[in-house]
């Protein structure tokens, strides 16, 4: 086959789609995390190479390496001596893996892997590489995949965030304007709070989408098994570091988790003790379940020894974990013991069912007795603290349920109270993704007085999704999750996430998002459909209907949610009703000794101070930047241009002087190239209007 024919057989639609989405995520990340290149790129390129080259080498080991790295590399910048710089989102790792997948697939096609004859034996390296990597092909269009619905919904949420935090300037020629959204918090930083969830969520889904699109059909590879194998490798590495931290020093490889270390908790290589407290018991339960299956199949004593060893090891490491670990680990192991013991010793299905029901009824009583015994231990472990709080909760609940929950956890109680108020204020549409930490930073805190001194997400996933997305947005999100579980037949596997989701927003970090979606979206056969779903998939109406719902539901939610923005102004009027002043689109606020605003970009707009007489003024843009053209426009109240003039270039900037025409309400400055200039604070009045 000629090279041109091979080029025509490339998956052009797939390549274009994944490149475009990756490019958008990259630009969004660099916008909300404008870290200097000298600090950002060393960590990024290391992550990128560890994702790109294994994927380029072989599909199997690329998956294993990516999944292992997803739960071991989130604190790579700190471990290398650099600031955090947002790399907890693992942008480099996932973009490298995605690019590695599609570069591999492109090279396989261009080198003729789909042809009958393989290269000559003299080209043994290329031959071996092609044998390791059969080319992948998916018969379904991209938009018929359930992943497409997720990505489209996230795109809608991202656009809503831009409209909420940046205004409509991007649609009116002003570009992306940076305002002071709250005192001490810029609109870019407010957008970054939302992107703490949006970016890792997009990258993880895009990565899994890439893996499934590039799989051979039918495939002998098991995507889920290879991803899970990588997770177990990363899990073992974390166990190793946690053991060292427990035996030697909590400071060992714990840079970036100072609050966790100060609380006496081991973190391994996870993001922090919050991630460790739920990922450790969930992956530990899956690992012990795997070992138990091997032991019951092989009857080898060594396999049984491994089951006991890892159970004791994980339980011991949990001594220095948070309370969430003990709740999740206690419930999972109790359920596992009941299921395993009844399977081993009770052959009758009827008796087995009755005994299991009886044991599950007794579990709460046994749990309370165990907690009472632990409360007598004279130690300051989190487990002992948890036991004491549970006993105090049980004593206080009959007389005062509210006080009982405060005894359990005061901080979580206040965060839940804050979340409940926000949910009651906007129950149907929510407050916007990322709104919870933003509202915690608000000076008024919406009237809630509390002892919370830090910014955090809601204490449960369910409070987060209702607070940020509301009932309608939650239904869209749960619809997409439900379709994915139905497609893969993984309803039971989804139960594993019910408990972790009670203890935080687990998808806010890359390690948590990767573990959650690997459990939810990957079944035993990787891309295999459940029989009931496959039956409908073969009809001519089912896939188009899913596409209509996957696009229509997010669009309708976005349409209704965007009604909130109609009261917001454009440019300098953005959020004027909330702040009671016109906003000055500066990048850096005025500081001593010069008290000058610093502006970055190409286009700026300011409200003119009202005056009954002539309005003469001089505007001097102090800058070292150069542009071939700098113009000033005078606009009326409807933002129609009524006058246009040029700035004069000087040695230290650009200057204009003259008179504002009658009827002018706004001025707009436009530069052909990007400028970084300064204006004195005295140029503006107390309402944020420019003085003429």
pLDDT tens, position by position, 135-185: 766 677 888 888 999 999 999 999 999 888 888 877 777 878 778 888 778
pLDDT for 435 equals: 87
Residue 444 in this model has a pLDDT that exceeds 80: no
**How does residue 9 score in pLDDT terms, banded at 50, 70 and 90?**
confident
Collapse the DSSP code of 458 into the 3-class scheme (helix H, G, I; strand E, B; otherwise coil) and give the result.
coil
pLDDT for 531 equals: 80
Residue 218 in this model has a pLDDT that exceeds 70: no
Residue 675 in this model has a pLDDT that exceeds 70: yes
Whether 489 is in a domain gets the answer: no
**Tokens coding 648:** 């004069």
**How does residue 452 score in pLDDT terms, banded at 50, 70 and 90?**
low
Whether 679 is in a domain gets the answer: yes
Which tops the pLDDT comparison, 70 or 491? Answer: 70
Rounded CA separation 81/136 (Å): 40
**How does residue 117 score in pLDDT terms, banded at 50, 70 and 90?**
low
pLDDT for 41 equals: 83
The range of the structural domain enclosing residue 612 comes to 584-683
**How does residue 351 score in pLDDT terms, banded at 50, 70 and 90?**
confident
b/e for 454-479, b at 16 or more Cβ within 10 A? Answer: eebbbbbbebbbbbbbbebbbebbeb
Rounded CA separation 377/434 (Å): 41
159-163, 570-574, 624-628: which is most confident: 159-163
Query: 666-680 and 596-607 as β-strands: parallel, antiparallel, unpaired?
Result: antiparallel
Whether 650 is in a domain gets the answer: yes
Whether 674 is in a domain gets the answer: yes
Q: How many CB atoms lie within 10 A of CB 138?
A: 17
Whether 673 is in a domain gets the answer: yes
Whether 630 is in a domain gets the answer: yes
In the predicted model, what is the mean pLDDT of residues 483-489? 85
- On average, the pLDDT of the chain sits at 84
User: Considering only 14-28, 178-192, 294-308, 393-407, which range has the smallest mean pLDDT?
Assistant: 393-407
| CB half-sphere exposure, 348, CA atoms < 13 A | 4
DSSP H or E run through 27: helix 12-32
**How does residue 646 score in pLDDT terms, banded at 50, 70 and 90?**
very high
Contact 601, 675 (CB under 8 A): yes
**How does residue 217 score in pLDDT terms, banded at 50, 70 and 90?**
low
* Helix pair 273-298, 323-345: axis angle to 10 deg: 10
**How does residue 526 score in pLDDT terms, banded at 50, 70 and 90?**
very low
Q: What is the pTM of this model?
A: 0.89
**How does residue 258 score in pLDDT terms, banded at 50, 70 and 90?**
low
pLDDT for 95 equals: 95
Which tops the pLDDT comparison, 306 or 300? Answer: 306
Residue 447: exposed, middle, or buried by beta-carbon count in 10 A (0-12, 13-18, 19+)?
exposed
In the predicted model, what is the mean pLDDT of residues 197-215? 91
Task: Count up the domains in the chain and report the number.
Answer: 1
Whether 643 is in a domain gets the answer: yes
Whether 48 is in a domain gets the answer: no
Residue 287 in this model has a pLDDT that exceeds 90: yes
**How does residue 456 score in pLDDT terms, banded at 50, 70 and 90?**
confident
pLDDT for 54 equals: 94
Q: What is the pLDDT of residues 541-567, one digit of tens each?
A: 888 999 999 999 999 999 999 888 888
DSSP H or E run through 617: strand 616-623
Residue 103 in this model has a pLDDT that exceeds 50: yes
Q: What's 655's domain CATH number?
A: 2.60.120
């Amino acid at each position: 086959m000629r090279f041109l024919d091979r080029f025509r057989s490339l998956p052009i639609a797939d390549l274009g789609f994944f490149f475009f989405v990756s490019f958008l995520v990259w630009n969004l990340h660099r916008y909300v995390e404008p870290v200097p290149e000298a600090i950002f790129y060393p960590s990024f390129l290391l992550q990128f190479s560890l994702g790109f080259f294994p994927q380029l080498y072989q599909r199997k080991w690329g998956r294993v390496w990516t999944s292992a790295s997803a739960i071991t590399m989130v604190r790579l910048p700190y471990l290398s001596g650099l600031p955090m710089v947002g790399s907890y989102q693992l942008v480099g790792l996932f973009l490298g893996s995605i690019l590695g997948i599609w570069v591999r697939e492109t090279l396989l096609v261009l080198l003729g892997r789909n042809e009958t004859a393989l290269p000559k034996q003299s080209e043994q390296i290329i031959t071996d590489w092609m044998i390791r990597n059969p080319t992948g092909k998916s018969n379904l269009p991209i938009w018929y995949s359930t992943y497409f619905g997720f990505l489209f919904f996230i795109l809608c949420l991202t656009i809503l965030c831009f409209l909420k935090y940046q205004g409509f300037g991007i649609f009116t020629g002003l570009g992306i304007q940076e305002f002071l959204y709250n005192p001490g918090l810029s609109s870019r930083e407010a957008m970054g709070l939302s992107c703490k969830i949006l970016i890792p969520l997009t990258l993880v889904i895009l990565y899994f989408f890439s893996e499934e699109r590039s799989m051979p059909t039918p495939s002998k590879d098991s995507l889920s098994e290879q991803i899970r194998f990588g997770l177990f490798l990363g899990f073992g590495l974390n166990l190793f570091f946690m053991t060292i931290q427990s035996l030697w020093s909590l400071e060992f490889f714990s840079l970036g988790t100072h609050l966790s270390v100060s609380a006496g908790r081991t973190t391994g290589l996870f993001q922090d003790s919050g991630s460790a407290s739920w990922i450790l018991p969930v992956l530990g339960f899956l690992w012990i379940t795997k070992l138990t299956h091997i032991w019951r199949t092989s009857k080898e004593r060594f396999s049984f020894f491994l089951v006991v060893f890892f159970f004791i090891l994980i339980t011991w490491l949990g001594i220095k974990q948070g309370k969430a670990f003990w709740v999740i680990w206690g419930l999972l192991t109790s359920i596992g013991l009941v299921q395993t013991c009844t399977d081993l010793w009770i052959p009758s299905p009827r008796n087995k069912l009755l005994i299991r029901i009886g044991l599950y009824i007794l579990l709460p009583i046994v749990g309370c007795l165990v907690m009472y015994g632990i409360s007598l231990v004279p130690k300051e472990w989190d487990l002992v603290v948890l036991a004491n709080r549970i006993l105090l909760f049980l004593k206080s609940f009959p007389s005062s349920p509210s006080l009982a929950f405060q005894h359990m956890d005061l901080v979580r109680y206040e965060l839940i109270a804050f979340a409940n108020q926000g949910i009651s204020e906007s129950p149907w549409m929510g407050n916007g993704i990322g709104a919870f930490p933003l509202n915690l930073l608000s000076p008024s805190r919406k009237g809630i007085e509390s002892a919370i001194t830090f910014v955090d997400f809601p204490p449960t996933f369910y409070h987060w999704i209702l607070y940020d997305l509301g009932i309608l947005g939650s239904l869209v999100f749960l619809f997409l999750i439900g379709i994915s579980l139905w497609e893969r037949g993984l309803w039971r596997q989804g139960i594993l996430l019910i408990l972790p989701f009670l203890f935080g927003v687990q998808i806010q970090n890359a390690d948590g998002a990767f573990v959650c979606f690997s459990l939810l979206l990957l079944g035993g056969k990787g891309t295999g459909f459940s029989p009931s779903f496959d039956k409908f998939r073969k009809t001519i109406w089912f896939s188009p209907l899913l596409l209509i719902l996957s696009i229509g539901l997010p669009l309708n939610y976005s349409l209704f949610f965007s009604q909130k923005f109609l009261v917001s102004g454009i440019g300098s009027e953005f959020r004027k009703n909330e702040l009671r002043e016109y906003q000055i689109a500066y990048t850096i606020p005025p500081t001593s000794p010069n008290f000058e605003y610093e502006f970055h970009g190409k286009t700026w707009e300011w409200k003119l101070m009202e005056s009954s007489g002539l309005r003469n003024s001089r505007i001097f843009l102090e800058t070292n930047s150069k542009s071939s053209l700098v113009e000033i426009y005078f606009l009326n109240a409807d933002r129609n241009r009524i006058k246009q003039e040029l700035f004069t270039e000087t040695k230290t900037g650009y200057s204009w002087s003259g008179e504002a025409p009658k009827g002018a309400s706004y001025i707009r400055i436009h530069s052909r190239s990007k400028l970084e200039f300064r204006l004195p604070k005295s140029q503006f009045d107390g309402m944020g209007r420019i003085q003429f």
